[in-house]
Amino acid sequence: MNEEYLELRKELIRKTFKDKRKIKCRTPEDVRMLDDDVYPGGEIFTTEDGEFIDLEFQINDFDEVELAKYVGFAESLYEKHHKKISIYIICPKNIDVYVKELPIKSKADFTIKLYCSQEDPCRIILDIINEKIKSKQPLDSEDIRIVEMLPEMCEKKDRMYYRVESLKILNRYVT
């Protein structure tokens, strides 16, 4: 991961979720690998203390099924490494949140925080991806997946714009 791209993510986590912990790196694939039936997480970072931060961009309404998916992920990662997990979820303004904040009983040490943005999350994502392209970073599978989802994540009135931008990126920068 390019240092510039990592800095963008660190800044997003710091500003949005007020997390001052120092992020050391993006968590290597072998460390984050869990059982096949467990949600694999989004962009996972390791702090200098060895704890994990999972940054997510929510594209579906946030309900009990979505919450259970993140809890299962946190518990599995905790069982494997016995390190605290912070799951930070950025929700666009066009999705509904159907669960309320409440304590979740678990042996795992984790927190889940939602940030419901009034900004267009598709714009944020597109800016991050374009910054990665500008700095000549290769797009990984998570980047490609989210670029493909942009037209579905955005508001209906913006769909054509994000479809065109998505297609540009996929056609020009994905091999």
C-alpha count within 13 angstroms, C-beta hemisphere, residue 73: 25
CATH class of the domain comprising 3-118: alpha beta
Listed by start position, the domains of the chain span 3-118
**CA–CA separation, 109 vs 73, rounded Å?**
12
| pLDDT tens-place string over residues 153-172 | 888 899 999 999 999 999 98
Position 45 confidence tier, pLDDT thresholds 50, 70, 90: very high
Identify the pLDDT of residue 53: 98
Identify the pLDDT of residue 99: 93
**CA–CA separation, 120 vs 165, rounded Å?**
15
- pTM passes above 0.85: no
Specify whether the CB–CB gap between 4 and 14 falls below 8 A: no
Identify the pLDDT of residue 5: 74
Q: What is the mean pLDDT of residues 42-66?
A: 94
Identify the pLDDT of residue 23: 96
Decide which of 120 and 98 is more confident: 98
Tokens 């998570």 locate to 142
CB-neighbour burial class of residue 125 (10 A; exposed 0-12, middle 13-18, buried 19+)? buried
| pLDDT tens-place string over residues 55-114 | 998 878 999 999 999 999 999 999 999 999 999 999 877 789 999 888 899 999 999 999
Q: From edge to edge, which strands make up the β-sheet containing 110-116?
A: 23-26, 43-47, 52-57, 85-91, 110-116
CB-neighbour burial class of residue 14 (10 A; exposed 0-12, middle 13-18, buried 19+)? middle
Identify the pLDDT of residue 58: 86
Specify whether the CB–CB gap between 53 and 47 falls below 8 A: yes
φ and ψ of 44, to 5 deg: -105, 130
Q: For the stretch 138-154, what's the b/e string if a residue is b when 16 or more beta carbons lie within 10 angstroms of its beta carbon?
A: ebeeebeebbebbbebb
What would the two tokens of residue 93 be? 């303004």
Identify the pLDDT of residue 1: 54
